[in-house]
């Protein structure tokens, strides 16, 4: 699976993709992440990619020409299943969206900055708009990293334990049950006896019960859905 990410601040994405699971996925050849500097497609000497908004108002707007040039160049090299724009007014990212996108092939992710991007970019090129929450960030780089992480960890072979991603919170519409490791007793705080019993059926039932309890307490909206 290949990810092409277009941004005016490529250095912001260096660290997230150079460590841990995302780094291993790339080394294994299971994922390819290519970051493109939008300024390389600017046509002026200053390499600026923004301008004042028509109709007035505060902030600067990212222009259509650099994005169009970069997008069309990439499209001439390969086909893309999705061209995604990270936007606070997009569809809120959830596990179902990540699951669906993990079955795709090539994806392009556009990172906005400043006040936003020219609407024509969204109208002409973008196939999907995704938000990471109801708040505004300085740019789309961190949301792009979040989306990429959420997708790549689902690719078969990326995680050392193939069943790990399937037991994550939200995979079955519920939050995950509490988890513990050694020591079994730490300063009087003990691991539930059932987890030490070795009785698989009882442990499974306990986890199912705890998932419902935790979801009801923290995210009752998931049960309503």
| Residue-range domains of the chain with CATH | 2-152 (3.40.1280.10), 169-224 (1.10.1270.20)
Mean pLDDT of 59-73: 97
pLDDT for residue 169: 61
pLDDT for residue 172: 79
Residues 36 and 10: their CA atoms lie apart, in Å, by 7
pLDDT for residue 224: 86
- Residue ranges of E strands in 43-197: 50-51, 61-62, 82-92, 106-111, 116-117, 128-131, 185-186, 189-190
- Residue ranges of E strands in 76-208: 82-92, 106-111, 116-117, 128-131, 185-186, 189-190
> What digits encode the pLDDT tens for the residues 182-212?
999 999 999 999 999 999 999 999 999 999 9
| Structure confidence at residue 104 as a pLDDT band (50, 70, 90) | very high
pTM reported for the whole predicted model: 0.90
């Amino acid at each position: 699976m290949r990810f092409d990410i277009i941004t005016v601040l490529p250095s912001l994405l260096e660290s997230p993709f150079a460590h841990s699971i995302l780094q291993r996925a790339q080394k294994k050849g299971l994922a390819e992440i290519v970051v493109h500097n939008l300024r390389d497609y600017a046509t002026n000497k200053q390499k600026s990619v923004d301008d004042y908004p028509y109709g007035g108002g505060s902030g600067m707007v990212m222009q259509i020409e650099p994005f169009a040039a970069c997008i069309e160049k990439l499209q001439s090299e390969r086909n893309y299943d999705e061209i995604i724009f990270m936007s606070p007014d997009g569809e809120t990212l959830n596990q179902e969206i990540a699951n669906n996108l993990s079955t795709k092939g090539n994806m392009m992710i556009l990172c906005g900055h400043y006040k936003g991007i020219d609407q024509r970019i969204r109208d002409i090129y973008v196939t999907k708009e995704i938000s990471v929450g109801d708040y505004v960030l300085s740019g789309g780089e961190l949301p792009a990293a979040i989306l990429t992480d959420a997708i790549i960890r689902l690719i078969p072979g990326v995680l050392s334990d193939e069943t790990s991603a399937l037991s994550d919170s939200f995979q079955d519409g519920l939050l995950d049950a509490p988890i513990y490791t050694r020591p079994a007793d730490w300063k009087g705080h003990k691991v539930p006896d059932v987890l030490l019993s070795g009785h698989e059926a009882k442990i499974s039932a306990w986890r199912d019960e705890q998932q419902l309890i935790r979801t009801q307490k923290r995210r009752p909206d998931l049960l309503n859905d």
